[in-house]
Structures are given as structure tokens and as C-alpha cells.
Structure 1
């Protein structure tokens, strides 16, 4: 396998990263991996305008993983203030999931939020229905905080819910 290069995404990457993110989270293609949300949501996971907004915001970035000219993964990082970083939208090409790239992207996210934003801890949010994913994050040192966040019902740009009990669990981990 060709070496994977992890770097900051740039605006020219948006079309390819958008296709990658959608394939990792939604629709039939996402079912080739284990991180699909296709049973929870239809519609889009994000859109090019949202990705452009992330790239334009100095408190956010998209780290992207490339194998040659092909995007194979990405992760959103953000500064939440008060020493807290955040990452989300962790995406790995469904056919490459389970091979360690997701862990590499999480490690890159940890390093980036600490370096760029001075974060001492990092938070993530996960659907409670994603028990396998929660267990994976726990193996990476995350713990459930007891906090929850509402799902943005009525905002189709975040997806079309297939059920009415969606919300997010907040998990946190200290950074070394």
C-alpha cells in the first residue's frame, strides 16, 4: 500500500473530501465500513459550503489523509476555548476501515488541537446507538462525561433522521 500523507486540507480539496465524507457516513457505500450512520440518518452528512466554512475559520481545520492523489480520510478539529479541543467528522474510506487509519487521524487530531489551540483535553460527540464506536473511543482513552447534546432536528443540512430519539453523548480525554 502506498504511504499515507496527513496534511491540512485546502479549498481545492473540498470536492474530493466531500465525496469521501458522504461515502463514510451515508448511503449504500458507507455500509462497506463499520462507521456508517445509514441506519440513523438519510440525506447528507455535510456539504461543500460547510467544509469551506471550516477551512475559512481560524478556530477550525480539516486534517486530510491522502494516498497519492486519493483522499482516504479526514477529521475536523476545532478550538472550544478554555483548554478544550474538539474533533468530529472522522471519516475513513469504508473499504479501508479497520486498518488503523482512523487511529492515526485521531492521534493527528490530538496533536493538532494541543499544538494549534493549546488544548489540554479533547471532546467528541457520538450517537448513543453507536455502541461499537463508543467502545472504540473508550479504548483510545475517552470517557463518557454524562453530558449530552441535542440532535439538530429540522435542519436537513445535518441529515434526515430515520428515528426520533437522536442526540449525542459527550466523551472526553485528557491530552498528554
Structure 2
């Protein structure tokens, strides 16, 4: 894979960012990769308005990954406590999954959390039925906390409950 450049998203990035996230998480295009939710959920993953709000929030950063001039991935980091951040929306272009970009985005997010927010811990939630994705995060140092959280749908769908994973960020370098 050629050089990957990471940078924080700006409002001007929403038009390219939104379709990337939808391609990676939902619909038939997502099935080209292995991390999709296309067999579990059928609505939109996010909206342009939601992404604009995330980008504008000083307690969040959306990191973009570009290869040459192409947007190929993103990840969100949110401050959730004095030393705690939340990792979300880790996205890799479906055709590029399994090429190491997810690991690089994860490392960039952890470094950003430590530098930007002074975080010592990172947590995330993964749909409990996504056992292969949970195992991927566990191989990268994340551990189950024992906590679960409901998936935000009505009526509740317990089969979509989230597993909470956490990792210490001591020693994380930018």
C-alpha cells in the first residue's frame, strides 16, 4: 500500500466522508470487506448532518486517511472523561480491507487520543454478534470490560447489544 497521510476532517470533507462510511458499513458495497454490518442493519449508518456535528465538536476529532488524493478511511475519537476517550466509526474502503489500513487507523486514533485529549484509556463498543471483529480488536490489546450497552433502536434488539472493549494507552506515541 502506498503512503497513507492522516489528518483531521474539516467541514469541507463531509461530502466525501459520508459516502465512504455508508459504502463500508451498509449495503452490497460493504460486503466487499469483512467488517460490514450489512447483514444486520439496513438503515443509513450516519448522515451528513451528524458528521458535520462531529467535526465541529471540540471534544471529538475525525481522522481521515488519504492514499494519494483518495479518501480511503477514517476513525472518530471522542473525549468522554478526564482520561478516557471513545473510538468509533473505524472505516476502511471495503476493497482495501485486510491490507493493514485498519491497524494504522487504530494506531493513529490511539496516538491522537493521547496527544489531543491526554487520554490514558480508549474504549469502544462492538455489536456482540461481530465475534470476528471483537477478536481483531482483542489481538490489538483491547479487552472486554464485561459491560454491555443496548443498540440505539426502538424496539430494542438484544441480539445487537454492544460489547464494551477498553485498552490502556500508556506509552502511546504520535
Q: How high is the TM-score relative to the length of structure 1? A: 0.93
What residue number does 1:77 align with?
77
What residue number does 1:158 align with?
none
Q: Is the 8 A contact 2:129 2:159 kept in 1?
A: no
What residue number does 2:5 align with?
5
Q: Which runs of 5+ in 2 are unaligned?
A: none
What residue number does 1:86 align with?
86
Task: Provide the secondary structure at the position in 1 that maps to 2:147.
Answer: strand
For the residues of structure 1 that align with 2:23 and 2:167, how far apart are their CA atoms? Answer: 28
Q: Is the 8 A contact 2:150 2:158 kept in 1?
A: no
Give 4+ residue runs of structure 1 displaced > 3 Å after superposition: none
Q: Following TM superposition, by how much is the alpha carbon of 1:164 offset from its aligned partner in structure 2, in angstroms? A: 5.5
Q: How high is the TM-score relative to the length of structure 2? A: 0.94
Higher relative contact order (CA 8 A, sep 6+): 1
Q: Is the 8 A contact 2:74 2:89 kept in 1?
A: yes
Q: After superposition, what is the alpha-carbon deviation per residue over 1:58-88, rounded to whole angstroms, capped at 9, x for unaligned?
A: 0001000011221100001000113101111
What residue number does 1:22 align with?
22
What residue number does 1:49 align with?
49
Task: Report how many aligned residue pairs link the two structures.
Answer: 170
For the residues of structure 1 that align with 2:3 and 2:104, how far apart are their CA atoms? Answer: 13
Q: Following TM superposition, by how much is the alpha carbon of 1:149 offset from its aligned partner in structure 2, in angstroms? A: 1.1
